[in-house]
Amino acid sequence: MNGKVFIIGLGLIGGSLAMAIRQAHESVHIVGYDVNENNIQLAKLLGIVDDSVDSIAEGVLEADLILLAVPVDQTEKIVIQLADMKLKDDVIVTDAGSTKSTVVEAAKHLMNRGITFIGGHPMAGSHKSGAGAAKPHLFENAFYLLTPSDNYHTKEINQLKEWLKGTRANFLVVSPHTHDWLTGVISHFPHIIAAGLVKQAQTYSEENELVARLAAGGFRDITRIASSSPEMWRDILLHNRDVLLDLMDDWIMEMAHIKELVANRDSGEIYRFFAEAKVFRDDMP
């Protein structure tokens, strides 16, 4: 595809998406903007972007695709600002944030102006950040969820998929709420549990330093994701609040149930608890 792409946020995700877009569309012109001057310089040096601009208003003027890859609270602020800026009528605006309902809600003003906004979430990443960590293959074979609001038709979604085809990701279209529920169940809530387990071990390690030394194998497997960025996970919890509150209620009930089984020495039901989990886990694709 020919045209101009404007990337706001030249970090791990923005940089990786820019590289993937260029791989599939050699003649594209990619312009970048970031609040961090070092990331702009690095992105230019690495050939991630062709050019940079000093403001968002300047970058959006001629863009055919605007891609926001900044923290979710910044994404919300920027999509609200975009509603008052001069944009091409047929531009597609998308983002890469890990939560979707609040961002799509913030984009309502933009959509009311007739501008296409399709939320996006490439479901791969790393604990690294910044343009220096960007890779064109980061999203290969990963799921890439697109969350249009109800108003959008397949034409714009297909155009966006065409722009992003260099990611070689598997695109799935879901509603913003379904996205937040799915990612709440399989990603956000497990991060809370992982961090909770680590914090519990930390407390007990004050009683006995062997706790940290013996925490190998299974404990390391289940808590690997507790090393992720605290800023990013704080934002995710604040932006997927309602879904996570519901999941916490369900979890507390699940824990109360297993607590009762243990207290009652209910060997049959305890076996069933693990056996059912094993069957579902073993059957996962």
Given the rule CB under 6 A, which residues bind ligand NAD? 8-14, 33-36, 39, 69-72, 74, 96-98, 121-122, 125-126, 129-130, 232
Angle, vertex CA 125, rays to CA 124 and CA 130, nearest 5: 150
Residue 241 C-beta: closest distance to ligand NAD, Å:
15
Identity of the residue, 36 or 227, whose beta carbon is nearer to ligand NAD in the bound complex: 36
Cα–Cα distance measured from residue 208 to residue 185, given in angstroms and rounded to the nearest whole number:
33
Q: Which of 25, 121 has the CB closer to ligand NAD?
A: 121
Residue 64 or 235: the one with the smaller Cβ distance to ligand NAD is 235
State the minimum distance, in angstroms, from the CB of residue 254 to ligand NAD: 27
* Alpha-carbon distances, residue 119 vs 59, 92, 96, 99 (angstroms): 20, 10, 7, 9
We find the least distance from the C-beta atom of residue 141 to ligand NAD, in angstroms, to be 15
In angstroms, rounded to a whole number, what is the distance separating the alpha carbons of residues 33 and 11? 10
Pick the closer one to ligand NAD by CB: 71 or 184.
71
Could you give the CA distance from residue 278 to residue 92 in angstroms, rounded to a whole number? Answer: 44
Q: What is the b/e burial string over 202-228, where b = at least 16 CB atoms within 10 angstroms of the residue's CB?
A: eeeeeeeeebeeebeeeeeeebeebeb
Nearer to ligand NAD, 124 or 270 (CB): 124
The least CB distance from residue 102 to ligand NAD, in Å, is: 12
- Minimum distance from residue 1 beta carbon to ligand NAD (Å): 23
Q: What is the DSSP string of 17-58?
A: HHHHHHHH-TT-EEEEE-S-HHHHHHHHHTTS-SEE-SSHHH
Q: For ligand NAD, give the closer residue by CB, 97 or 184.
A: 97
Q: How far apart are the first and last CA of the chain?
A: 34
Query: 8 or 87, CB closer to ligand NAD?
Result: 8
Would you list the DSSP string of 154-170?
HHHHHHHHHHTGGG--E
Smallest distance, ligand NAD to C-beta of residue 180, A: 12
Least Å distance between CB 270 and ligand NAD? 36
* Nearest alpha carbon to residue 102 among 233, 192, 237: 237
Within a 13 Å sphere around the CA of 243, how many CA atoms are in the beta-carbon half?
23
Per-residue HEC secondary structure of 117-142 comes to EEEEEECCCCCCCCHHHCCCCCCCCC
Beta bridge partners of 4: 29
Of 11 and 148, CB closest to ligand NAD:
11
Nearest distance from C-beta of residue 48 to ligand NAD, angstroms: 11
